[in-house]
Structure 1
């Protein structure tokens, strides 16, 4: 049963991701947090989990064709733009307007699924350290749990080494 069925209406992005996940047969409905989780740290604190278990969505703009490039990375890692560029072509930073226009979501709530335009997507190999990770569900207060394998299945994206080496 959908956990959100008896709740008051939520913001459109959250409702959209809820429908997409249900359509895709994902077994866990998104959870609405009473606090904002715009950052991986905020989300981890709200959920009582490690920051690395947050599957944060980072959007870049591919220079060749202005395509959105989504990198879903572990919350305790930083994307290595050179590694991403080696896989998808030269990329640049994406501003808030580009993120909203290409994904349908605002920064801080970008889900790995349900985008306005399907992005080029890569999944950070370091997410596979965890049995369960939590991704944004279309709004800064929305999250949903999944395994790294489910993330791969839902997005159709490859798992790759796309992050900087962690500091030792």
Structure 2
């Protein structure tokens, strides 16, 4: 069986063997919960949100204090109707449950869009595959690992 935390760890070690997910005692399902648990501001928790337009998916990685305007999703994914992916779609496409979506080591190859406002932090945190995990990264590490397209929010 596929272990999401092991998949993320193996993936990041290909880029930097010193990157290791942080495992907390409790699960964190929101950016606010993660920020409180690790002792940082909510903005330093990167949210990974999966959207769909027809049969095309895109993962948007944004700072915890940002909202994703529908116009940006439409610009990135095209099509008429853009919808947030369902719980089942998130698991099928990313291999992670909602609240633990890591922006890399995804099950399917899909475009990834990165909020450039994350550059304001020397370090920030992403989910690392399970609800009690976080991974500390720099913007450059995130951009390199995801090969993502930058977006301004």
TM band (smaller chain): over 0.9
User: 2:117 and 2:64 mapped to 1: Cα distance?
Assistant: 10
For the 8 Å contact 1:131–1:147, the answer to whether it is kept is yes
SS where residue 135 of structure 2 aligns?
A: strand
Closer, same or farther in 2 for the Cα pair 1:55/1:26, shift >3 Å? farther
Q: Identify the match of residue 74 of structure 1 among 51, 59, 63.
A: 63
- The alignment of Structure 1 onto Structure 2 pairs a total of residues equal to 150
User: 1:124 and 1:35 mapped to 2: Cα distance?
Assistant: 27
In the other structure, the counterpart of 2:129 is 138
In the other structure, the counterpart of 1:84 is 73
- Structure 1 position 25, deviation (Å): 2.5
Query: Which runs of no fewer than 5 residues in structure 2 stay unpaired?
Result: none
- Calculate the aligned-residue CA RMSD, in Å: 1.4
State the TM-score, normalizing by the size of structure 2.
Answer: 0.92
State the TM-score, normalizing by the size of structure 1.
Answer: 0.85
For the 8 Å contact 1:127–1:148, the answer to whether it is kept is yes
Larger radius of gyration: 1
Q: Does 1:20 align with 2:41?
A: no
Q: Identify the match of residue 88 of structure 2 among 88, 97, 105.
A: 97
For the 8 Å contact 2:102–2:129, the answer to whether it is kept is yes
Runs of 4+ in 1 over 6 A off after TM superposition: none
